[in-house]
């Protein structure tokens, strides 16, 4: 079979019973994490703008938004995907640069609710959509990302298509057409990092996934071999030298399910900032360092991060998420970085601006001897008395290799939901997520919590 056929067959043939129970349990963690940050994102400025746009262009009541409003499935996917990525606090894969849950689960939830699906149906669609996105990215990474594409918006659209198509019960041929349709709608540029358009990438991917699956169901045509040949997706999006077709299908669900590789963000900023942030936080707490005792901070990161951490002098909270200078300054001043620290007034404050000027970057080809992550980080802190401290973090905190505690993730979830709604709703949502795999669970059991609390 061709790559497109094999991916399509997997998306169509995978059922809830094919997924190990341990994977189902693991799946609830990224769903909870995503819903928390999406509820919070719905209350941000970007959430309000997207809500107005969806009201005008995608009116309906078939699917629920995380602010409790209704919309068409395409509109809900667009809004909820954008909400989930609004503050760059949503999950990622450890080995490839995709935020999977915002585009994929938002598509699955929107279509699942409109189709009267069970919780198990939506869980299954999310798991296989994540598998599809992960495997496709394996075949085009890192060339695709390095060329300036944002994989959450590009590859994520295929995962969203697979999830939506599974819930619409597409045939293998139908799924192939859906992949062909979304291949022409798969776009997002890293140039927009630090703006509202970056979170729109996740919403766009979710919306395009729903659109592609729905059009295919109606008989819309497309090339059924979208990954093949010189004009195929893999070659066009990477250049021929960056595409490895066999990697897209190798070990589909056999050598480990993709959702078990999902990583959770302990900080609401670009993942490439997290290792040095964690290293600095640990050092500051251990040595009880105050900002006025610090002369300078040198942050060493892999040279590949230079094209992502774009803002050395951020003007607002969105730019600050891709600024090593701000991320170091906020840890130095607050010993933490939560949704409340990434605010425009905090970024512009004299206190933070003064500390940002102490931070210098150093790009290195390898930070540590032996095994290390491209997202590793090291900080060298020079004190006013001449003392120099060094602290490193080999792997991004929150990854399966370097996990953060479930208590820390629960605290994140409740803080995010409480910031917009209330603790009672957060408790109901958490319980609803835990019950998604129960035989009598309907996905509306979860979405009704959002509607009833609006």
What is the bridge-based pairing of β-strands 70-71 and 262-263? unpaired
What is the DSSP code (8-state) at residue 240?
G
SS3 342: coil
Same fold, 3-265+410-452 and 271-393: no
What is the DSSP code (8-state) at residue 231?
T
What's the distance, CA 391 to chain centroid?
28
d(CA 94, CA 72): 33
SS3 297: strand
d(CA 295, CA 283): 15
Contact status, residue 294 vs residue 384, Cβ threshold 8 Å? yes
Kindly state the helix (H) or strand (E) to which residue 104 belongs, with its residue range: helix 101-114
Q: Which two tokens stand for residue 112?
A: 């699942």
Contact status, residue 388 vs residue 381, Cβ threshold 8 Å? yes
Q: Residue 250's CB: how many other CB atoms inside 10 A?
A: 13
Q: What is the pLDDT of residue 272?
A: 86
What's the distance, CA 119 to chain centroid?
21
Contact status, residue 54 vs residue 71, Cβ threshold 8 Å? yes
pTM: 0.92
Question: What region does 213 belong to: left with phi over 0, alpha with psi -120 to 50, or beta?
Answer: alpha
Q: Give residue for tokens 């590789």.
A: 261
Beta-carbon contacts of 342 under 8 Å, excluding residues fewer than 6 positions away, are 87, 268, 269, 317, 320, 321, 330
Using CB atoms within 10 Å of the CB of residue 23, give its burial: 0 to 12 exposed, 13 to 18 middle, 19+ buried: middle
Locate the domains of the chain by residue range: 3-265+410-452, 271-393
d(CA 125, CA 88): 24
Give the CATH fold of the 271-393 domain. Answer: 60s Ribosomal Protein L30; Chain: A; (3.30.1330)
SS3 313: coil
Q: Residue 236's CB: how many other CB atoms inside 10 A?
A: 14
Q: What is the pLDDT of residue 172?
A: 98
Q: What is the DSSP string of 117-172?
A: -BHHHHHHHHHHHHHHHHHHHHHHTTHHHHTTB-HHHHHHHHHHHHHHHHHTT--H
Q: What is the pLDDT of residue 368?
A: 66
Task: Report, in angstroms and rounded to the nearest whole number, the Rg of the chain calculated over CA atoms.
Answer: 21
What is the domain class of 3-265+410-452 according to CATH? mainly alpha
User: One digit per residue, pLDDT tens: the chain, 454 residues?
Assistant: 899 999 999 999 999 999 999 999 999 999 999 999 999 999 999 999 999 999 999 999 999 999 999 999 999 999 999 999 999 999 999 888 899 999 999 999 999 999 999 999 999 999 999 999 999 999 999 899 989 999 999 999 999 999 999 999 999 999 999 999 999 999 999 999 989 999 999 999 999 999 999 999 999 999 999 999 999 999 999 986 789 999 999 888 776 799 999 999 999 998 889 999 999 999 999 999 999 999 999 999 888 777 777 788 999 999 999 999 999 999 999 999 999 999 999 999 999 999 999 999 998 877 765 554 567 899 999 999 999 999 999 888 999 999 999 999 999 999 999 999 888 999 999 999 999 999 999 999 999 999 887 6
d(CA 389, CA 380): 6
SS3 452: helix
What is the DSSP code (8-state) at residue 405?
P
Residue 361 β-bridge partners: 299
Q: Which two tokens stand for residue 344?
A: 């425009």
Q: Residue 245's CB: how many other CB atoms inside 10 A?
A: 17
């Amino acid at each position: 079979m061709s790559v497109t056929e094999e991916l399509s067959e997997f998306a169509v043939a995978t059922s809830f019973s094919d997924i190990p129970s341990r994977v189902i349990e693991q799946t609830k963690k990224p769903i909870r994490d995503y819903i928390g940050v999406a509820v919070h994102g719905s209350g941000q400025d970007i959430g309000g703008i997207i809500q107005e746009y969806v009201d005008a262009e995608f009116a309906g009541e078939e699917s629920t938004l995380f602010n409790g409003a209704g919309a068409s499935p395409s509109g809900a996917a667009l809004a909820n995907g954008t909400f989930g990525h609004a503050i760059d606090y949503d999950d990622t894969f450890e080995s490839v640069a995709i935020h999977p849950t915002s585009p994929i689960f938002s598509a699955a939830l929107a279509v699942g609710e409109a189709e009267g699906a069970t919780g198990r149906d939506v869980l299954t669609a999310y798991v296989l959509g994540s598998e599809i996105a992960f495997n496709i990215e394996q075949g085009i990474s890192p060339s695709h990302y390095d060329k300036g594409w944002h994989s959450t918006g590009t590859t994520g659209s295929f995962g969203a298509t697979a999830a939506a198509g599974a819930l619409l019960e597409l045939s293998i041929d139908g799924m192939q057409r859906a992949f062909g349709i979304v291949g022409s709608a798969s776009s997002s540029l890293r140039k927009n990092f630090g703006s509202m358009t970056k979170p729109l990438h996740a919403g766009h991917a979710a919306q395009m996934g729903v659109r592609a699956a729905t059009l295919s169901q109606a008989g819309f045509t497309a090339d059924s071999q979208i990954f093949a040949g010189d004009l195929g997706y893999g070659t066009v999006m990477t250049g021929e030298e960056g595409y490895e077709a066999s990697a897209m299908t190798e070990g589909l669900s056999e050598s480990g399910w993709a959702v078990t590789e999902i990583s959770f963000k302990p900080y609401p900023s670009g993942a490439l900032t997290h290792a040095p942030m964690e290293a600095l936080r640990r050092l500051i707490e251990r040595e009880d360092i105050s900002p006025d005792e610090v002369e300078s901070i040198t942050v060493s990161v892999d040279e590949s991060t230079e094209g992502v951490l774009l803002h050395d002098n951020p003007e607002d909270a969105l730019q600050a998420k891709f600024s090593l200078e701000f991320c170091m300054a906020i840890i130095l001043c607050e010993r933490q970085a939560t949704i409340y620290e990434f605010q425009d007034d905090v970024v512009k404050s004299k206190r933070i601006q003064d500390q940002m000027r102490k931070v210098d970057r150093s790009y290195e080809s390898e930070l540590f001897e032996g095994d290390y992550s491209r997202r590793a980080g090291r900080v060298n802190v020079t004190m006013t008395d001449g003392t120099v401290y060094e602290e490193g973090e080999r792997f991004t905190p929150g990854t399966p290799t370097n996990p953060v505690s479930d208590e820390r993730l629960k605290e994140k979830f409740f803080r995010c939901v409480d910031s917009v709604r209330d603790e009672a709703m957060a408790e109901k949502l958490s319980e609803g997520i835990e019950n998604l795999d129960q035989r009598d669970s309907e996905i509306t059991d979860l979405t009704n919590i959002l509607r009833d609390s609006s």
